[in-house]
Amino acid sequence: MTSETALFYLFGAMAVVASLLVIAQRNPIYSVLLLITSFGALSGLYVLL
Binding residue for other proteins (CB under 8 A) from 1, 24, 29, 49? 29
Which DSSP symbol is given to 26? S
17 vs 33 by CB, closer to other proteins: 33
Provide, rounded to whole angstroms, the least separation between the CB of residue 35 and other proteins.
12
Selected binder of other proteins within 6, 10, 20, 36 (CB under 8 A): 36
Give 44's contacts (C-beta < 8 A, 6+ positions apart). 7, 11, 14
- Structural contact between residues 25 and 31, judged by C-beta atoms closer than 8 angstroms: yes
Footprint on this chain of other proteins (rule: CB under 8 A): 29, 33, 36
